[in-house]
Amino acid sequence: MTRQPPSSLALFGGRPCFPEPLHVGRPHPGDAGRLAGRVQEILDRRWFTNNGPLVREFEQRIGELVGVRHCVATANATLALELTLEALKLTGEVVVPAFTFVATAAAVVRRGLRPVFCDVDPRTHQIDLEQAARLITPRTSAILAVHLWGSPCDVTGLEELAGRHGLRLILDAAHAFASEHPRGPVGQFGDAEVFSFHATKFIHSAEGGAVTTNSDSLAEELRLLRNFGFTGLDQVACVGTNAKLSELHAAMGLTSLDELPRLLEINRRNYDAYRAVLGDIPGLRLLEIPSTCRHNRQYIVVTVESPPCPFSRDELVALLWSENILARRYFTPGCHRMPAFQTHVDAAMSLPVTERLCETVLQLPTGSNVTEQAIELIGGIIRAACAQADRVRKRLAQREATMTPGGCR
Ligand code: T4K
């Protein structure tokens, strides 16, 4: 890998700084020997799914880390969200932030509920508690908040709000495994919390999710729903589905969990390196992370204010992609602007903070695949581009004119 910023940017015919694409969420492979050992156990046991011993071990370890009575592992977080909404027997409307991955709102709609989109706080990007309070109507049955970017949202404020109105509180903790709130680890708040262990998460089982809760009855219902509703070999108590995690996925998840401290340390090192290299670039601001509690730092979130940055967010993303740095624009355009949700959205709806963030926020690569040298190089490229901003912008505009739509997600 090149260690110096290139003399010529790829936009002007130089070679891309990174010969291979540098992804935002490149999965950590884990220790191949340990994984192979677990896979061999599965083969020897001839037990591949249906609540096998590795799934139970995975659930136990997550439950202990989070400090809850129950962890119910699932095939992914999207199904975990759907099952949780179903098990809680929600009706009518659910207040949900618009600035989140599509799955949060999709789970609500797929359960036949109406998502009522809420704006977020401009500084933390977490659900705006005051607006959430204003959106509650007699039809509201729950608030589904998100711990965006791994930072805990205001769980105390949300619990009070939900309690005052007799609502359920579900927390989408897809980003927040191993992060902590001053009151304790994420995973123990509200009625239930939902984790994702998708391959792009820093702890992953390739595909996977989990619901954590202290409610015995909710956990029991979730276990039924994820396994067709079976209560015995021939007895079906309810219309369930198949949302089980397989033993192979649990083997990957356990192997990933084995490296939790090291992966937290890598993400911390990368976050600090980004802070050092981006700190003096005008208009770029790294999302602040509270230093008081543990945080997984699995997303490097940068806001681009232009001016003083000479580039818009989208120009910066295009520049980075030309160098094989696959920065992302999560979660543009915001769920409330997605055609899929238009039947649930009033045409006049405006969520100004979400809309602003959808134009200004980007994510940079991190994880075990990204070295400090790579981060220095990313900073060097941005600085080199800023030093010739007019020329770079002109070139980007020429390229834009010749590109087909949808070039970069
Ligand atoms: N709630 C929230 C708040 C979420 O963010 C998510 C998921 C969910 C709920 C639902 O969780 P799950 O049902 O997925 O468990 C990714 C992930 O697919 C998605 O899980 C995640 N959030 C979202 C934020 O990011 P994309 O759109 O980035 O595409 P994807 O998965 O193709 O991966 C991104 C990049 O990573 C790729 O460009 C290539 C690289 N990659 C990906 C995979 C899968 C690899 O290098 N190796 C791989 O195996 O969605």
Closest residue (by CA) to atom 32 of ligand 1?
200
**Index of the ligand 1 atom closest to the CA of residue 330:** 24
- Which atom of ligand 1 is nearest to 196's Cα? 15
Buried-exposed string 294-303: b where 16+ CB fall within 10 A, e elsewhere: ebbbbbbbbb
The whole-model pTM stands at 0.95
* Spatial distance between the Cα atoms of 296 and 265, rounded to a whole number of angstroms: 9
The residue whose CA is least distant from atom 29 of ligand 1 is 200
The Å distance, Cα 352 to ligand 1 centre, comes to 26
The answer to whether the beta carbons of residues 133 and 161 sit under 8 Å apart is yes
Q: How far apart are CA 212 and CA 195, in angstroms?
A: 8
In this predicted structure, the answer to whether residue 409 has a pLDDT above a threshold of 50 is no
81, pLDDT greater than 90: yes
Centre of ligand 1 to C-alpha 301, Å, is: 16
Q: How far is ligand 1, taken at its centre, from the CA of residue 17, in Å?
A: 25
Indicate which residue's Cα is closest to atom 23 of ligand 1: 101
AA letter at 166 = G
CB 195 within 8 A of CB 212: yes
Alpha carbon of 94 to ligand 1 centroid (Å)? 24
- Pocket mutation for ligand 1, best pick of 171, 200, 299 (most atoms within 8 Å of C-beta): 200
Copy the structure tokens of residue 200: 């792009």
Q: Which of 28, 172, 198 to mutate to test the pocket of ligand 1 (most atoms within 8 A of CB)?
A: 198
Residue 1's pLDDT is what?
46
> What was the pLDDT predicted at 74?
98
Q: Do 205 and 252 contact (CB within 8 A), yes or no?
A: yes
Tokens representing residue 60 in the block: 């136990």
Q: What is the DSSP string of 215-230?
A: -HHHHHHHHHHHBTTB
Question: Does the pLDDT of residue 182 top 50, yes or no?
Answer: yes
CA 380 to centroid of ligand 1, rounded, Å = 28
Could you tell me the distance, in angstroms and rounded to a whole number, from the CA of residue 388 to the centre of ligand 1? 34
- Measured in angstroms, how far is the CA atom of residue 197 from the centroid of ligand 1? 10
Query: CA 12 from chain center: how many Å?
Result: 34
So what's the pLDDT on residue 6?
60
Query: Cα of 52 to ligand 1 centre, how many Å?
Result: 26
Tell me which range, 23-27, 351-355, 386-390, 403-407, is most confidently predicted by mean pLDDT.
Answer: 351-355
**What's the CA-to-centroid distance between 21 and ligand 1, angstroms?**
16
pLDDT tens-digit readout, 363-408: 999 999 999 999 999 999 999 999 999 999 999 998 877 765 454 4
Which pairing describes strands 284-286 and 300-304: parallel, antiparallel, or unpaired? Answer: antiparallel
Q: Which of 100, 101, 329 to mutate to test the pocket of ligand 1 (most atoms within 8 A of CB)?
A: 101
* Closest C-alpha to ligand 1, atom 50: 200
Tokens representing residue 255 in the block: 């192997």
Q: Which atom of ligand 1 lies at the shortest distance from residue 76's CA?
A: 15
pLDDT computed for residue 290 by the predictor: 80
Protein residues whose CB sits closer than 6 Å to any atom of ligand 1: 23, 25-27, 76-78, 100-101, 103-104, 146, 172, 174-175, 196, 198-200, 209, 330
Q: Which atom of ligand 1 is nearest to the CA of 328?
A: 28
Residues 395 and 63: their CA atoms lie apart, in Å, by 52
How far does the centroid of ligand 1 lie from the alpha carbon of residue 136, in Å? 31
pLDDT tens digit sequence for 322-349: 999 999 999 999 999 999 999 989 877 8
Q: Which atom of ligand 1 is nearest to the CA of 209?
A: 15
- β-pairing, 140-146 vs 168-172, is parallel
User: What average pLDDT does this structure show over 287-313?
Assistant: 94
Residue nearest to atom 35 of ligand 1 (CA): 25
- Residue with CA at minimum distance from ligand 1 atom 20: 198
- Sequence letter at residue 3: R
Angle at alpha carbon of residue 357, lines to 353 and 360, rounded to 5°: 140
Whether the pLDDT of residue 2 is over 50: the answer is: no
Residue pointed to by tokens 């209560």: 231
Strand 180-181 versus strand 184-185 pairing type? antiparallel
Q: Is the pLDDT of residue 173 over 60?
A: yes
3-state secondary structure (DSSP) of residue 328: strand
Helix (H) or strand (E) holding 377: helix 372-387
Contacts of 256 (CB under 8 A, 6+ apart): 28, 30, 197, 203, 204, 205, 263
Measured in whole angstroms, the distance separating CA 47 from the mean position of its chain's CA atoms is 31
Q: CA nearest 263: which of 140, 409, 138, 150?
A: 150
- Contact call for residues 30 and 256 (beta carbons, < 8 A): yes
Give the residue carrying structure tokens 């590795």: 54
Instruction: Please give the distance, rounded to the nearest whole angstrom, from the Cα atom of residue 199 to the centre of ligand 1.
Output: 7
CA distances from 272 to 90, 100, 244, 258, 292 (A): 42, 25, 38, 24, 15
- Phi and psi at residue 336, to the nearest 5°: -65, -15
For residue range 188-230, what is the model confidence (pLDDT) as tens digits?
999 999 999 999 999 999 999 999 999 999 999 999 999 999 9
Closest CA to 212 of 184, 193, 196, 197: 193
Q: Residue 183 Cα, ligand 1 centroid: separation in angstroms?
A: 29
